[in-house]
Chain A
Amino acid sequence: MATESDFKCLRCGHWFKTNYEKNKPEERTCPKCGSNSVRPMPEKKK
């Protein structure tokens, strides 16, 4: 089930929250710079 998780844009460094479901990838875009290099951050990194 999808839950809201932290993401970090590896292009501009922006952090944001969006829905995430493990092993269910989908097209994600950084709301700040528009890059797709958006990394779901593990729980411990919060």
Chain B
Amino acid sequence: MDVGRHPKINLLAYSEVEDISGYIGNFKVKVRKKARYVDEVECTSCDDCVDVCPVVVPKEHQLGLASRKAIYIPFPQAVPASYIIDEENCLGFNPIACGKCAEKCDKNCIDYDAKDEIVEFDVGSIIVASGLDVYDPTEFDEYGYTRFENVLTSMELEILTGPGGVTKGKLIRPTDRKVPKSIGFIQCVGSRCESRGTAYCSNICCMNTIKDTLLLREYYHDIDCKVFYMDIRAFGKGFEDFYRRSKALGVEYIRGIPGDIREDPKTKNLILSVENTTGNGIEEYELDMVVLSVGMVPRKDSNSINKLLTLQTTSDGLLMEVHPKLTPIDAPTAGVFFAGCCEAPKDIKDSVTQASGAAARAASILSKDKVKIPALTATVDDDLCKSCGICVKVCPYSAITIDMKAKEPAKIIEAACKGCGTCASECKFDAISMKHYNDAQIIAQIDAILEENPEEKVLVFACNWCSYPGADLVGISRMQYPTSSRIIRIMCTGRLDEKFILHALKLGAPIVLMSGCHPADCHYINASLKAQLRIEKLWNKLERKGIRPERVQFEWISASEVGKFVKTMEELEEFRKSVTKKEIEETKKILSKSKK
């Protein structure tokens, strides 16, 4: 509500973002303000229209446990606190059929002819806070969520026990409207499951159940609460105390997830079979009610915003940050930040912490006239560019634009480019070059290293962020790796063009190693995986040419994996000895004949 009143915050409720263009500091956002069909300024929320509306539909905010009219306020704290007409269910769009709310409204606030409005904004920064959805446990048929009325989800329990809920906070059993004497909570429904729901832990469910059991035990002293769990994850300040308090109040924690739920047709009680893994074998419990502690899943409609901002998701569908440790709030698209569950499930405290961080990050951009960018950005040679669009597809930051129809050359958005070099490596026409770590500099280093006795060297391309510091740490740790190793630093393995490797082999390198960050730690989102794909193609190409693919190796080595670096270099040194001079000479001949 404070946000709605704030003079510097423009809150657009009941609206959808239609388009976003531009880049950090200069975004243009197009928003569709949906027609409410009620004048939100004039409406005083007097309720007269609601009284005469004949249409009754389930109320979404209360998960269908209550009903609303076709003209309604979505929830009591909605901002603005004025009515909306549900276009889908309202009869008033056919004036012959209805129109009662318009007749009743003294202030003439109802306007069936209202149209959606498109508004545009210039913004410097964007915070994505699109959240997650609650998991629908219908597919867990063994729990009978769709068959037994007394099986609820944790969200439905929240609606039932909340002061603004249908029962005004009184817990009742759906089948007989009586206060239940016993209630069971089943944890991890739709979480930590590979086959159904999500593989990740939804983070909040354990503490939410503990909170529910505490509330129930405090309000209904004789209610019997049982929690069926795999393991209780009560990490965080004060959480373990909370858990202990719940147990001290008599809540029983049973380590085991029920296999199924049956219903006694007469009493409507629920019978749970569960293997108690703390040693009591298979047990059966008869309970009045069961609450499925459901997890959180990515929103079904999140794809549209992800596409507009070119955001990437993990295999679980959660939004991916630039780096999980170093920049956990930043989206890959410069100037875009995350707040709340869209990035990962989190509780209120963590959401507020992240939102504060995101607001501070956004403010740091808005407070300046100019944005600092790395001096390593890509540049396009307009004469060489064929407008094929490959660079646009591979750029992890969506920092390249192109008009393929008009055959315009690609354009680099320097403010968004981070300088990974993936575009330069993928460009088949050599139309993209990098400022620093450019082709000529890298080729010159290869030439210098392989100028004398190339057959005695193992050439390593190491990324700036992980493998190169890893090699450095070997020395700092007073460890050793074979002296045959020669390291060339590149910003990212994404920068490694196959032409560098082929050039090295052509000059007589027996072994070439590409080494970079583990893909999950890649400092350029997924550039290292793009490099892996390129190497896999190169292996096939080498084999076709009659060159052993084994001579090109790759390894993911983080900055702390000194042992792995040493082991890899020792293995490659042994392997180098197996590459004969004859083989090297043949490779040189093959590659000298090839065009590319």
Contact = CB atoms under 8 A, between A and B. Distances in A.
Interface stretch (B152-160, B326-334, B547-555): B547-555
A38 to B, nearest CB: 9
A37 B554 contact: yes
B574 to A, nearest CB: 10
Interface in B521-549: 529-530, 532-533, 536, 539-540, 549
Given A27-B518, A27-B519, A36 B556 contact: yes
B536 A40 contact: yes
A14 to B, nearest CB: 12
A36 B553 CA distance: 8
B533 A11 contact: no
B520 interface: yes
A11 B571 contact: yes
Nearest to A37: B553
A10 B550 contact: yes
Interface string B551-571: 001111000000000001001
Interface in B85-112: none
A26 B529 CA distance: 7
Given A10-B550, A10-B553, A36-B556, A25 B539 contact: no
Contacts of A27: 518-520, 556
Interface residues of B, number: 19
Contacts of B554: 36-37
A35 interface: yes
Per DSSP, are chain B's interface residues mostly helix, strand or loop, or mixed?
A: helix
A3 interface: no
Contacts, number: 38
B533 A37 contact: no
Interface string B312-327: 0000000000000000
A36 B555 contact: yes
Interface string A1-44: 00000000011000000000001011100000101110110100
Contacts of B549: 10, 39
A42 B520 contact: no
A39 B533 CA distance: 10
Contact of B555 (A25, A26, A37, A40): A37
A33 B540 CA distance: 22
A39 B539 contact: yes
Nearest to B556: A36
A35 B482 CA distance: 18
Contacts of A42: 540
A22 B387 CA distance: 25
Contacts of A11: 550, 553, 571, 575
A11 B564 CA distance: 14
A23 B520 contact: no
A39 B536 contact: yes
Contacts of A36: 554-556
A39 B535 CA distance: 9
A26 B533 CA distance: 9
B519 A26 contact: yes
A23 B393 CA distance: 13
A33 B571 CA distance: 10
A32 B510 CA distance: 24
A19 B519 CA distance: 17
A40 to B, nearest CB: 6
Contacts of A33: 571
A10 B539 contact: yes
Given A25-B533, A36-B556, A39-B536, 11 more contacts: A10-B549, A11-B550, A11-B553, A25-B519, A27-B556, A33-B571, A35-B555, A35-B568, A37-B553, A37-B554, A39-B549
7 contacts: A10-B553, A11-B575, A25-B532, A27-B519, A35-B568, A36-B556, A37-B555
Interface of B: 518-520, 529-530, 532-533, 536, 539-540, 549-550, 553-556, 568, 571, 575
Interface of A: 10-11, 23, 25-27, 33, 35-37, 39-40, 42
